[in-house]
Amino acid sequence: MSVAQQSQSWLRRALPQGQRLPYDAWQSRHRAIVALLCAHAVAVPVIAVSRGLSASHAALESLILPVMTIAALAPSLNRRARTAAASLGLLSASGILVHLFDGLIEMHFHFFVMVGVVALYQDWVPFLTAIAYVLLHHGIVGVLDADSVYNHPDGQDHPWKWAAIHAGFIGAMSVGCLVTWRFNENTLADRDLAETRLREESQITDTLHRIGQALAEDLETQRVVQTVTDAATDAVAAEFGAFFYNAVSEAGDSYALYALSGAPMDAFEQFGLPRNTPVFGPTFEGEAPLRLDDVTKDPRFGQMAPHFGMPAGHLPVCSYLAVPVFARNGDVLGGLFFGHHRAAQFTAAHERIVVGVAAQASIAFDNARLYEAERHARTSAESAGARLAVLAEASKILNSSLEVESVLRDLTRVVVPAIADYCVLDLDAGDGSIDRIAAAATPERREWSTRIAADGAQSARSDPLAFVRTAIPEANFHATVELDPPTSAIAVPVIGREGTLGTLWLAAGARSRRRLTDADAPFAEELGRRVAVAVGNAQSFARQRSLAETLQHSLLPDRLPHIPGIEAAARYVAGGPGVEVGGDWYDVIQLPGGRIGLAIGDVVGKGEKAAALMGHLRSALRAYGTDGRSPAEVMERLNELLLNTGPDQMATTVYAVLDPESGLLTIANAGHPPPLLASPDGTATYLDDTRGMPIGALPGAHYVESTVTISPGSVLVMYTDGLVEDRTKSIDVGLERLRSAVAAGATDLDELCAAVLAQALSGRETHDDTAVLAVRLQLLTPELDLRIPANPNMLGPLRTTMRRWLADRGASDGESFELLVAAGELFTNAIRHGKGSPAEFDVHADVRDGVMISVRNLGGWRERLGEVGGRGLGMVGEYTDRVEIVRGESETEVRMYRRLAADAAS
Amino acid sequence: MSRDIEIESGGPVVIAVLSGELDLASTPAVSAKVLDAVTVDTAGLVVDLSGVRYIDSSGVHMLFDFARRLEAGRQGMAIALGATSPIRGLLEITHISQAVAVCSTREDAMSSAAEGAQRSY
């Protein structure tokens, strides 16, 4: 560096910076100085007059003072001109005073005082004005009138020499002032600097605080990175900023762009991954922050092929700032990079902000990484939890019902999509083929079941994935497979006690991106085990159930006995899916004397045992009833029987005896829901006068009978509790529902039974087994038509019916007897010689010519009526008015006529 | 039907008290029971039809059968039947009353049956 340069720089440092006073500071100082000038403008003329000058001369001499005062106050002039005017005014006052005192040397002191005053302006102008004024004034006036300037001879002889000396003093004084001023200025500058620094510092702190807060609230790495990048980009006023993650690959130079701020992500996407250039790379090695006013002028820039600098289309970067981000363990996580297309945009303060942000970011990143690690751990735990939940749910479903297929279908729906995207359950059908019991698939959770060849599934067990891809025959499933191709699969055998029952397949589809791995095998195996247990249970239940069902059906009446004059219908519905067979039964028994025994009962308990007990009770009741025991007696006997059969065996029963002739119904009820009697007039009432203990409950229990006379056409409905009991509703609701159903019931009893069952059981998932029995005492019209099976047991009830009919027609007891004897011969003949399968005969009765009773049957007519050599025919002839025999092609009709005494009387 | 018959076989005369209805369905069992009760030691048989409401040709045939068998065994037989029973008419129509004594009371029938047996000897 040259001497000139050195002194120049010394001068630059030594001299004041010339920073002008703030305007208000200048103004107050200027005001004081102008006031001083005003005082001189007044005082100087006064002094002039006192020195003996005329007023006019004095005014002229000091004219410059008011002129300068006015100039110093003139608002049109700028600050510097006014400064100069005020300074010139005060120096002029000094000059005038020197004149007035004839160059008195002490008057020259006034100059120095004034220089001191104008130094307040802290400006070059007053100093230069003062030096120039003293030099010119002393020089020029000293030449023209030396006495008025100098009062010593040398001055008077050499006015310019002394003018220079005086100006020199003024200059020295100015320098003194300047030095003082410079010191002041330095002090002020230091303070300003401190203030600025403080302000900056607080700004940085503030920024960092804000970023820190934002980061502390966020544990998502991507968002943390974005927050950091955004905040830093904002804080350093960069055009754009980016965070690159130090994901050094095996190739050595790949940095993943993680976040970008100030520019859309696609501004960089086209460039691929940034590379380890001499400018870019060092940041990732953890080197000190790199701040460049113009990156393109950096010697390291543009050294690397192929782009030699930034690739074409890159956002323009001139100002460049890069700061590494460290992890807590010292590893470089990545770097924050900022750019601006103008040069020198980033300051040291910016750098410090970014360094601070980077420090905070590293904490946040660490937190986020920890959090993610923990969350990952939690997700694994959750997924383990989800599996447990699925297993629990699966067990619940598997135990919910014993209907295998529906249960397994439900199961596949639980597994899909919680665990897998495909779930297929195949069970060996036992005949070399496979029942695809259930299958489900996402996304539509399709379900299907089908039957496939066994070898296809067998060979597929070795390659489950290929199996799921190809071996599913249904077209819609193919569509699903194409939509979401399975990418991984697990197959586990379903092994029961008696060997392999089938296969459970799980597969993951491409869409869900999940993978089924060996880690999923234990889950699949556990699921398979549970399925095996459920299938085993269901199979053994199905065996048991079918046994019990067979037993029950074999014990229930095959069909109700055909009893002339009585209509009867019954239905038995086994319990819903998964409900064990119960012990419901009903019976219609022909009793001596044409009476009818009606029974219904329900053995407490389920399964084979209940069904067997039911059979036992039914036989016993039938025996007691047939023996002619009254309902109460029958109940008491059944009670003792049950108590003697074994402990804890109970049943509820209603047993009623109907005498069709009188319509008298005698009922005993052992804890059973009351029978319902529907009259032809549409009213229906429950016969619940008496209800005793269930049979088998109490030794020596007595039962009370109630009686009711029912009119022909009435329907008696007996049922088991399955018909009226719904777990979700009160039994009263069921009873009322049944009552209205029966009251509005169909005329056909089979239809009536079907209707009340349908109404009671519809919409119920499960129900107990249910029996219903409906019996009607037939209303006998004057024209009676009966079709009677060719069975001797039909004779009793048929006579009873005919007896009713004859009584209705007004026949006396004697007439009735004789007609029944005569008709009985016809009936017996038809039974003995009737043909057809089943053999049956039609009885017709009407009131033509008194009463006419005809019997028509397939086959020929035996002329010799009856067995005993015409004894039967004789009886018919004896008791009737006439007999007609009408022979058809294949059938014969015998008609007998008789006038009644009542007809003759009327 | 078993209920329709009660047999008293304590004395020399077997008394079969029938009730209900005697028809094709019930007579075989009744017949078997009665014939079971009648042994070689039996002096006679009384068939009490007082409680019978109805009888058809198979019942009549059964009575004839009893009469034939007892006669072959030199045993007496009588029928007890209420005086107003409609069955009386039937027994007359079928001429069974010509072969078997029809008495109004069981006591009469018993003595008639015992007599018949003695008469046979």
Which pLDDT does position A377 carry in this prediction?
63
Residue numbers in B near A814 (CB within 8 A): 86
Q: Helix B57-72 to helix A871-879 angle, to the nearest 10 degrees?
A: 130
Omega before A631 cis (within 30°)? no
Q: Is B56 on the interface with A (CB under 8 A)?
A: yes
CA distance A851 to A801: 15
- The minimal CB distance from A828 to the residues B1, B58, B87 is found for B58
How many residues are given for chain A? 906
Q: Does A792 touch chain B (CB under 8 A)?
A: yes
A868 touches chain B (CB under 8 A): yes
Structural contact between residues A415 and A390, judged by C-beta atoms closer than 8 angstroms = yes
Whether A842 contacts chain B with CB within 8 A? no
Does the beta-carbon distance from A868 to B21 stay under 8 Å? Answer: no
Name every chain A residue with its beta carbon within 8 A of the beta carbon of B23. 792, 795-796, 799, 824, 828
Q: How far is CA A519 from the centre of its chain?
A: 27
The whole-angstrom separation of Cα A183 and Cα B108 is 171
CB-CB under 8 Å, A796 with B4? no
| DSSP E strand stretches across chain B | 5-8, 13-22, 44-55, 76-80, 101-103
**A269 alpha-carbon distance from chain centroid:** 36
Closest-CA residue in chain A for B91?
Answer: A875
Work out the pLDDT band at B31, boundaries 50, 70, 90.
very high
* Closest CB from A793, A813, A867 relative to B57: A867
CA distance A79 to A26: 9
Res A475: pLDDT: 47
Give which of A219, A265, A275, A220 is closest to A242, Cα–Cα. A265
Token pair belonging to A413: 């729906």
Nearest to A723 by CA among A741, A710, A745, A746: A741
Cβ–Cβ gap B24/A795 under 8 Å: yes
B46 confidence band (pLDDT: 50, 70, 90): very high
CA A302 to chain centre: 55
- Nearest CB among B20, B56, B89 relative to A824 is that of B56
Candidates A627, A817, A866; nearest CB to B57? A866
Instruction: Report how far apart, in Å, the C-alpha atoms of A48 and of each of A37, A87, A141, A402, B49 are.
Output: 16, 21, 18, 136, 189
- Locate A243 and state its tokens: 């965070």
Phi, psi of A68 (to 5 degrees): -65, -35
Nearest to B25 among A796, A820, A872 (CB): A796
The answer to whether B101 and B109 have CB atoms below 8 angstroms apart is: yes
Identify the pLDDT of residue B62.
92
- Any B CB within 8 A of A217 CB: no
Using CA atoms, how far apart are residues B11 and A608, in angstroms rounded to an integer? 51
CB contact under 8 A, A799 and B54: yes
> Is residue A844 within 8 Å of A784, Cβ to Cβ?
yes
- The tokens for B70 are 């007892």
Look at strands A256-261 and A499-509 and give their pairing: unpaired
Strands B101-103 and B76-80: parallel
Residue ranges of alpha helices (H) inside A137-158 are 142-144, 153-157
pLDDT at A125: 81
* Interchain CB contact of B50 with A (< 8 Å): no
Structure confidence at residue B73 as a pLDDT band (50, 70, 90): confident
The 10 Å Cβ neighbour count of residue A51 is 14
Say what the pLDDT of residue A675 is: 93
Closest Cα of chain A to B25: distance in Å?
5
DSSP string, A506-551: EEEETTT-----GGGHHHHHHHHHHHHHHHHHHHHHHHHHHHHHHH
pLDDT score for A10: 76
Tell me whether A828 touches chain B (CB under 8 Å): yes
Of B24, B87, B93, the CB nearest to A792: B24
Is the whole-model pTM more than 0.80? no
The Cα-based distances of A111 to A127, A203, A558, A694, A899 in angstroms read 12, 50, 149, 141, 178
Q: Which two tokens stand for residue A524?
A: 């699949």
- Mean pLDDT of successive 10-residue stretches along chain A, which has 906 residues: 76 67 86 92 91 86 90 88 91 89 86 87 83 88 84 86 89 85 78 78 74 69 77 84 66 57 68 63 79 82 67 78 82 84 86 82 73 65 72 74 72 78 76 64 52 47 54 51 69 79 78 72 83 77 65 69 86 69 84 88 81 84 89 93 84 93 93 91 85 88 92 91 76 81 78 81 68 89 87 87 90 91 88 77 87 83 48 78 84 88 71
Q: Residues A643, A699: contact at Cβ < 8 Å?
A: yes
**Closest by CA position to A476, among listed A445, A520, A455:** A445
Using CB atoms, pick whichever of B2, B3, B23 lies closest to residue A796: B23
| A475 CB-near residues (< 8 Å, 6+ apart) | none
- In angstroms, rounded to a whole number, what is the distance separating the alpha carbons of residues A787 and A830? 12
Q: What is the pLDDT of residue A703?
A: 92
Give the C-alpha separation, A11 to A179, whole Å: 11
Cis amide bond preceding A443, omega within 30: yes
Nearest to A868 among B2, B60, B90 (CB): B60
Say what the pLDDT of residue A869 is.
44
Residues of chain A contacting B49 with CB distance shorter than 8 Å? none
Query: Choosing among B58, B64, B65, B98, which should be mutated to test the A contact, i.e. which has the most A CBs within 10 A?
Result: B58
Residues of chain A found within 8 Å of residue B24, distances taken between Cβ atoms: 792, 795, 828, 831-832
Rounded-to-integer distance, Cα B90 and Cα A875, Å: 7
Q: How many CA atoms lie within 13 A of A565 on its CB side?
A: 26
**pLDDT per position as a tens digit, B92-112:** 888 888 888 999 999 899 888
Q: Which residue has the tokens 């019916």?
A: A801
Asked if B18 has any chain A CB less than 8 Å from its own CB, the reply is no
Residue B57 has its nearest CB partner, among A594, A820, A872, at: A872
Give the Å distances, CA to CA, from A437 to A425, A444, A536, A632, A641. Answer: 6, 19, 14, 53, 47
Rounded to the nearest angstrom, the minimum Cα separation between B93 and chain A is 7
The C-alpha R_g of chain A, in whole angstroms, comes to 63
Q: A630 touching B, CB under 8 A?
A: no
A381 to A64, A507, B36: CA distances (angstroms): 99, 21, 89
Query: B62 — contact with chain A (CB < 8 Å)?
Result: no
Contact (Cβ atoms closer than 8 angstroms) between residue A423 and residue A434: no
Contact B56, A866 (CB under 8 A): no
Contacts of B46 (CB under 8 A, 6+ apart): B13, B14, B15, B16, B77, B78, B79, B80, B106, B109, B110, B113
Radius of gyration of chain B (CA): 13
Chain mean pLDDT for chain B: 86
Å from A874 to nearest chain B CA? 8
Instruction: Look at chain B and count its residues.
Output: 121
Q: Which of A795, A871, A874 sits opposite B23 (nearest CB)?
A: A795
Alpha-carbon gap: A868 to the closest alpha carbon of chain B (Å): 6
Are the C-beta atoms of residues A675 and A658 closer than 8 Å to each other?
no
Q: Supply A31's token pair.
A: 């005001």
Q: Does A671 contact chain B (CB < 8 Å)?
A: no
φ and ψ at A124, to 5 degrees?
A: -65, -35
Instruction: Sort strands B5-8 and B13-22 into parallel, antiparallel or unpaired.
Output: antiparallel
Strand order of the β-sheet with A676-678 is A566-573, A770-777, A715-719, A676-678, A684-686
pLDDT (0 to 100) of residue A888: 79
Maximum CA pair distance of chain B? 36
A-chain residue closest to B2, CA distance = A627
Contact residues on chain B for A868, CB-CB shorter than 8 A: 57, 60-61, 64, 94
Sort A786 into a burial class: Cβ within 10 Å, 0-12 / 13-18 / 19+: buried
Is residue A806 a contact partner of residue A851, using CB atoms and an 8 Å limit?
A: yes
Residue written as token pair 């038995």: A572
CB atoms within 10 A of CB A604: 17
Residue in B3, B25, B94 nearest the CB of A875: B94
Residues of A in contact with B57 (CB under 8 A): 824-825, 828, 866-868, 871-872, 875
A chain contacts of residue B92, beta-carbon cutoff 8 Å: none
A875 to chain B, any CB pair closer than 8 A? The answer is yes
Chain B residues 72-91 with CB within 8 Å of chain A: 86-87, 89-90
Which value does ipTM take for this structure? 0.90
The reply to whether residue B23 touches residue A872, judged by beta carbons under 8 angstroms, is: no
Is pLDDT above 60 for B1?
Answer: no
**Is some CB atom of chain B closer than 8 A to the CB atom of A95?**
no
Q: Do A871 and B4 touch (CB under 8 A)?
A: no
CB A91 within 8 A of CB A133: yes
Q: How far apart are CA A40 and CA A97, in angstroms?
A: 10
- Compute the distance between CA of residue A276 and CA of residue B73 in angstroms, rounded to an integer: 138
Give the model's pLDDT for residue A507: 80
What letter would DSSP give residue A19? Answer: P
For residue A242, give the nearest of A207, A273, A277 by alpha carbon: A273
Inspect the interface and report whether the beta carbons of B23 and A875 lie closer than 8 Å.
Answer: no
Does B93 reach chain A within 8 Å, measured CB to CB? yes
